[in-house]
Chain A
């Protein structure tokens, strides 16, 4: 089955492309494929591309182009073009994480909502390979999905005004790491001392969609040791 694209106006300077397909993996691959093709094509006036799990948001300069012209570009990107866009040798990164306590204040409540113990949730979280589906706010945060929880994990109805950098958080069936301090409404289960972004670099973010993260539970002593000399994400050689 070929994915179907639903292209809609999204404000006077945007288009929203929804990908319809029965398979979650195909929806994501198509959305990311459209992004990759558009990054190569660079149609005039296209300013920004935000490709996520199953949609692509395009921001454009209305002084240069319009909905119809850009929509036509998207329509002419055939599914066959998109399917040829493979992620170049995806990597697996190792993410040491301190779970629970002050590092993960929502761990116990999320576990109990899911009908499991905190340890069971941590075991499930660390035994899963979490695939990075896209990068978004704040500053290159990796949005991942992995296991299917018994039910979606609800966000906080009142987001926290400050989430610490390195916080590992869950929402719905998804996982994210907050690379920098920011407001946030996802449920916090732990903190990693690893550095995810370097704004001073030309390439501020190392991980790309298609890469995966494997979380490794560390104790407070190991966490303190790693925090003293934080390192960038390390490729998991055991994988």
Chain B
């Protein structure tokens, strides 16, 4: 058993891809806000896409491990600092036991993902370790806390110095101050003007995992009719009576009665997971066919990355750590 000791926690939790498939009992999906960064990190360390990993939010995170570990840090991270030396983010690293690993607070973007080869032990509720504030579950990490990791990795069997880096070379999703949000028309698209969502919106501080509150003009609706509570997707762009916009994220309530002029695409949702207070949102209209194509292209890229990781691990004699 490898013990990972958290030194500096900031706001960090143990995450996975959440509780999909439980809407009929009123439980929402939750899980990693930037699922692409999370699945890429897991892929880079030879884990399954939905394995538990660490999500940091707008803060620095550091730790040491009791044994050699294989890690990858993705999301908003631009580098990983190991014992004071910069190592690449969005790459597979081997960190020897006892080295100090620091993920700095992001300058752009909001969340970083730290995947470690193996299984992180955390409480599984209804099939997931993901925090859910309504269920009152989740593992928030604090300084001094120890996490147990079951990994088959026992170090590279050739002599090495420093921190070996595999050059797997995925394309990092770069975070920017302005986030382009691709949207498809929602059920009430026709009740708003052609220029709805044209102006830029600013992400407000009252945003959380339930939804991003965006300040800017409140779109005028031509129909005043009440909408009965109905199911809403993650990504729905709502026009609440309090003004501005509310973009629903993975912790969203399952039903709502606000008009929905637009819905963010699956690939845009991950960019929204990197929105920080003050970020600018620029909406762009697209169609569902293009959006589905983008989601499929991205999965193909992740699958291809997984094949490169498997090949690199096998040729380095650590093929047995692949899950």
**A-to-B contact residues, CB < 8 Å:** 8-14, 16, 35, 39, 47-57, 59, 62-63, 66-67, 134-141, 143, 152, 155, 157-158, 172, 174, 180-183, 197, 199-200, 203-205
Asked if B255 CB lies within 8 Å of chain A CBs, one says: yes
* Chain B residue nearest to A180 in the complex (CB): B134
Complex: how many Å from CA A57 to CA B226?
Answer: 18
| Most-contacted residue by chain A among B126, B229, B241, B296 (CB, 10 A) | B229
Which chain B residue lies CB-closest to A143? B229
CB-CB nearest in chain B for A39? B24
CA–CA, A199 to B234, complex, Å?
22
Is B163 part of the contact surface with A, judged by Cβ < 8 Å? Answer: no
User: In this assembly, does B205 line the interface, its C-beta being within 8 Å of a C-beta of chain A?
Assistant: no
Over the window 256-280 of chain B, the binary record of Cβ atoms lying under 8 Å from chain A Cβ atoms (1 yes, 0 no) is: 0100000111100000000000000
Cα separation A50 to B20 with both chains bound (whole Å): 12
User: What 1/0 flags go to B122-135 for Cβ under 8 Å of A?
Assistant: 00011000000011
Closest to B135 in A: A199
- Residues of chain B lying within 8 A (CB to CB) of residue A157: 241-242
17 further A-B contacts with Cβ under 8 Å, apart from A54-B228, A137-B28, A137-B134, are A10-B187, A12-B184, A13-B233, A13-B235, A14-B263, A47-B21, A48-B23, A55-B228, A56-B231, A57-B231, A62-B295, A63-B296, A135-B26, A139-B134, A141-B26, A172-B257, A204-B126
A14-B260 Cα distance, complex, nearest whole Å: 14
Closest 7 pairs between A and B when the two form their complex, measured CB to CB: A57-B231, A50-B231, A11-B263, A12-B291, A137-B253, A140-B26, A48-B23
- The answer for the CA separation of A182 and B252 in the assembled complex, in Å, is 12
Is B1 positioned at the interface, with any CB of A under 8 Å from its CB? no
B228 close to A52 (CB less than 8 A)? yes
Query: CB-nearest residue of chain B relative to A10?
Result: B233
CA distance A62 to B297 in the complex (A): 11
Chain B residues, Cβ within 8 Å of A137: 26, 28, 134, 252-255
Residues of chain B within 8 A (CB-CB) of A172 are 226, 228, 257
Which residue from chain B places its CB closest to the CB of A134 in the assembled complex? B255
Interface residues in chain B, defined as those with a beta carbon under 8 Å from any beta carbon in chain A: 20-29, 125-126, 134-137, 184, 186-187, 210, 226, 228-236, 241-242, 252-255, 257, 263-266, 288, 291-292, 295-296, 299
- Give complex CA distance A139, B125 in Å: 13
Query: Could you say which of A11, A66, A138 has the most chain B C-beta atoms within 10 Å of its C-beta?
Result: A11
Tell me the smallest distance from the CB of B115 to a CB of chain A, in Å: 21
A32 CB → nearest B CB, Å:
11
Instruction: State whether B23 touches A138 (Cβ < 8 A).
Output: no
A20 to B291, CA, bound (A): 29
Assuming A12-B292, A137-B253, is B137 touching A53 (CB within 8 A)?
A: no
Tell me the bound Cα distance from A62 to B234 in angstroms: 14
A63, A136, A174: the one within 8 Å of B254 (CB): A136
Nearest-neighbour CB distance to chain B for A161, whole angstroms, equals 9
Instruction: Please measure, in the bound complex, the distance between the C-alpha atom of A57 and the C-alpha atom of B230, giving whole angstroms.
Output: 7
Name the one of A8, A10, A49, A67 contacting B24, with C-beta atoms under 8 angstroms. A49
A35 to B28, CA, bound (A): 17
> How many Å lie between the Cα of A13 and that of B299 in the bound state?
15
A140 contacts B230, CB within 8 Å? no
Of chain A, the residue at the smallest CB distance from B133 is: A182
Set of chain A residues within 8 Å of B266, measured between Cβ atoms: 12-13, 62
Q: Which residues on the A side are within 8 Å of B241 (C-beta)?
A: 155, 157
CA distance A16 to B228 in the complex (A): 13
Residues of A within 8 A of B186 (CB): 10-11
Residue of A nearest to B27 (CB): A139
B105 to chain A, nearest CB (A): 26
The smallest beta-carbon distance between B165 and chain A, in angstroms, is: 30
Name which residue of chain B comes closest to A56, CB basis. Answer: B231
Which B residue sits closest to A133, measured CB to CB?
B229
Q: In the complex, what's the smallest C-beta–C-beta distance from A219 to chain B, in angstroms? A: 30
